[in-house]
Structure formats: C-alpha cells, structure tokens
Amino acid sequence: MKNLNIGIIGFGTVGTGVFKVLQSFGNIHIEKIAVKNINKKRELENFNNDLLTDNAYELVNNPNIDVIIEVAGGINPAFDILKAAIENGKHIITANKELLAKKGNELFAFAREKKVIILYEAAVGGGIPIIMPIKTILCANKIKKIAAILNGTTNYILTKMTEKELSYDTALKQAQDLGYAETDPTGDVEGFDTAYKLAILSTISFNKKVDINKIYREGITKITAHDIKSAKELGYRIKLIAMGQLLDNGKIDVRVHPMLVAKKHLLAKVNNATNSVMLSGYPVGDLIFTGAGAGAEPTASSVIGDLLVLASELENTDNPIPQAVCNHTETAEQIDIGDTYNDYYISVTAGNSPGVIGIIGTICGKNNINISTIMQKGINNDNTAEIVVITETSKESDIQNALKEMLASESIKNINNLLRVMN
C-alpha cells in the first residue's frame, strides 16, 4: 500500500477511536489533528500534543497531507473546510451525515471537477458496511426498497420501553446516563439523524438525488407506554424506521417515522443500540446488514476501511475507486406523505357509550378504510375507554380525514396516537 500522510479534523469519540486504531498501520502517518479546544486533556498514553492545532486550515493547506479525515460533524465550518481541502487536491473521508445530506451534491460535484474522492462509509450505519457494497458488488441490482433502523439512541429507548416497561422519559434518561443520548437528544429522538442517513442511503440505492427537505420525518417522543403495551398485545414491536421505496411510476417514497413491526420480522429483533439495514432488489432478493451503528471502534472501522482501500488504489492509479464517484444527475421525484399507503394503528380515547365502536367503524368506512382489528380493554375511572384500531392498507390522506371526523364526534374524546404498520 502507498504511504499516506493524513490530517484528522475532529478529535472526539470517533476521532480518538480512529487515532488509536491507526497506530497499528505503518503506512499511515498522522501529520496533524484539528480540534476545538487545544488545551483539553486527552486520555491517551504517550500522546504528542504537538500534533494538535485549533486551525483546521493548517491541515487543508499543508502540501504534505494527502487525505483529510473529517469526523467533527455539522455544516459550519466543515463545508468550507472540506471545499478548501478539495480545492487543494486532497481526498476526503468523512462520517458527517448531516453535511452529506444537506451539501453532498455540491461537494461531490466539486470533487469530480478536482479529480479527488470523497468516501463516507462511516456516515451511514457506523461500523456496518453498506455504502461500498451497494456501489460495488450490488451495482448489478435495481434496489426497490430500503427498511432500516439507523439510530442506536432511539432503538435503545424503544427497546427499554418494550422489555422493561419504562416510560419514554425514564428510558431517555437511562440512555443519557449510558452515553447513548446527548444532553439535548433532539437530533436523535426527533428523527433528524435517521433522515440524514436515509437521504444518503436512498440517493445511492435509487441512483437519484434525494432532497433531505422532502423526507417526511417523525420522531419517537409521542410513543407512550400504552402504545408499547398495545403493540405487544397485538403481536408487534415499535421501531423508528427509515423507509425508502421506488414506486412503479418511478417516484420515490422516502420517510422516517415509528412503525409497528411484526414480532417475527427481522427488524423487530434488532434491539438496544444495534442498527440494521434491509434491502430488496433484483436479482439479489432480500438482504440484511446488522451491526454496531455508532461508537468509537465500529465507526473507526469504517473510516479506516475507506482509508486503506484508498491507500491501496493510490499505489496503482491516479484515478482511485471509480465506483465511489457520485455521478447522480437525476433528481428524485419524492411523493408527499399524504399520498402514501400503509396499514395503520390508531389509538383513541372514547366515551363509554353504546355504539361508539360503530361510530369509529362508520367514519372509517366513509373514508375508504377497512378495519382489520379493534381492541378495547376495560373502562377508565372517568368513564372513558382506550380503543385501538388496526386498519388494512389505506391512503394517508384518507386516514387524516377520518381522524378529523373522529375528533368532531362527541363520542371521541382524543386521538392518542397514529402510527404506521410495516407490511
């Protein structure tokens, strides 16, 4: 392999993990590491503080550095720094899913112009190999569907709510105590992190540019212990699912939201902080990739895997890994959530009066919705009842119209939750 001089931007959990693993590779020399706080104490044995700088442009303007590894995250200043690095002919390896989801088209186009490579295996699924397999060994396939769990924090919370019967707030606090969730968990629990990853994964899977701003996104903050219990009784588990589908008309259905997943489904068995990606394509059929979706060592595995492939290629050619170049020219036509079709879970609070289930059935019927299952257990102290409905496949806009009609009925006191059910 070619000897490479590298610069690392970002020295948090992932950057430190990359540094530690790289110590065992003799052909990789770390020239400089850019950090926010140069005076922060580093828990590393025999670490040379002279490697550190708080000016990332020292790396991108250094003619001795061949590759920039960016693991700092965020849009600013990462975007401008990486553009400068590309301008200077440096190859890029990044784990920055937000940057790629929002600014990837511009960065990839600039990289093509400057004849450098951007590799980003670590940006989706942590240690799970998924980007390069799609671009290489699976390139003969027409991928029709993605169904994935792409965020370890939310999967951990939902697992504990299911297995330990914890409330959402208690499970979140436990995730924060263990370091799975940030002090401000919004990026994870509201589905932003998952949406960034899905935008990247959908773009390469469907070979069309997917607009992050058009991905429907819904987090897990509205999931209650009652929803978890009802789902279990009906034979489901609740998971935050990243869904992408190539429709027969060529349009793309791309969204992130909680779903009821049948207990027997493989994704229902993915627990705690584990991630999993299911792909369906022709001619390969169905595939599933499962593993650690975050953390220092799993993410470092993907970052350094990209680096070593690049080192091997640069030994033989000035045009490395042509399969990795993003040449997407067509923009995907993404459908609105109202035009999607799903089975649905509807939880309502209704007055304990004769005919209330009939009212729900009538409203559903008027809106082209067939009911598959309806469940009521007991009466509350205020003489109301919790009723759960599972529908057959229906159009989202019809479901929303039905919910409006239910709320207008004197018999329906509240719509507690609406969740989609994975077919």
Residues pairing with 28 in the sheet: 4
Indicate which residue of 197, 232, 251, 264 is catalytic: 197
Residue 145's H or E segment, with its range, is strand 142-149
Task: Give the mean model confidence (pLDDT) for residues 331-344.
Answer: 98
Express each pLDDT in 384-408 by its tens digit: 999 999 999 999 999 999 999 999 9
Residue 1, pLDDT > 90, answer no
SS3 313: helix
Evaluate if residue 102 carries a pLDDT over 80.
yes
pLDDT at 2: 80
Could you give the CA distance from residue 412 to residue 179 in angstroms, rounded to a whole number? Answer: 41
How far apart (Å, rounded) are the C-alpha atoms in residues 217 and 353?
A: 36
What does the buried/exposed string (b/e) look like for 260-281 if buried means 16 or more CB atoms within 10 Å of the residue's CB?
bbeeebebbebbebbbbbbbbb
Q: 154 and 175 in contact (C-beta within 8 Å)?
A: no
Q: Which amino acid is present at 37?
A: N
Secondary structure letter of residue 314 according to DSSP? H
Reduce the DSSP state of residue 62 to 3 states and report it.
coil
Q: Tokens 């009784």 map to which residue?
A: 233
Domain ranges across the chain: 4-126+296-324, 131-291, 340-421
| 328 compared with 330, residue with greater pLDDT | 330
Q: pTM value?
A: 0.96
pLDDT band of residue 318 (cuts 50, 70, 90) is confident
Instruction: Give me 289's structure tokens.
Output: 């990739």
| Mean pLDDT of the residues in the chain | 95
Q: What is 340-421's CATH number? A: 3.30.70.260
The strand pairing partners of 30, in sequence order, are 6
The proportion of the chain whose per-residue pLDDT surpasses 70, expressed as a percent, equals: 100
| Rounded Cα gap, residues 399 and 405, in angstroms | 10
Q: What is the DSSP letter of 335?
A: P
**What class is the 131-291 domain?**
alpha beta
Closest CA to 418 of 343, 362, 339: 343
| Distance, CA of 114 to chain centre | 30
DSSP state of 330: S
Q: Is 197 a catalytic residue?
A: yes
| Residue of 180, 267, 171, 177 lying closest to 224 (CA atoms) | 171
DSSP character for 156?
Answer: H
DSSP letter (8 states) at residue 209: B
CA distances from 382 to 110, 313, 378, 410 (A): 63, 70, 12, 15
316 — pLDDT class (breaks 50, 70, 90):
confident
Q: How is 163-200 classified by DSSP, letter by letter? A: HS---HHHHHHHHHHTTSS-SS-HHHHTSHHHHHHHHH
Task: Report d(CA 251, CA 331) in Å as an integer.
Answer: 10
Average pLDDT over residues 105-109: 94
Stretch 246-262: mean pLDDT, rounded?
97
Digit-coded pLDDT (tens) for 42-51 = 889 889 999 9
When pLDDT is averaged across residues 155-180 and rounded to a whole number, the result is: 96
Q: What are the pLDDT digits (tens) for 39-90?
A: 998 889 889 999 999 999 999 999 999 999 999 999 999 999 999 999 999 9
Q: Is 378 left (phi over 0), alpha (psi -120 to 50) or beta?
A: left
Let me know if domain 4-126+296-324 sits in CATH 3.40.50.720.
yes
* Confidence at residue 314, expressed as pLDDT on a 0 to 100 scale: 84
Instruction: Supply the pLDDT for residue 320.
Output: 74
Q: Model confidence over 365-384: pLDDT tens digits?
A: 999 999 999 999 889 999 99
Q: Environment class of residue 397 by beta-carbon count within 10 Å: exposed (0-12), middle (13-18) or buried (19+)?
A: middle
Q: Do domains 131-291 and 340-421 have the same CATH topology?
A: no
Model pLDDT, residue 46 = 84
Nearest by Cα to 93 from 113, 111, 114, 75? 111
Around Cβ 384, how many Cβ atoms within 10 Å? 18
Please give the average per-residue pLDDT across 205-216, as a whole number: 96
Q: Which residues pair with 246 in a beta bridge?
A: 252
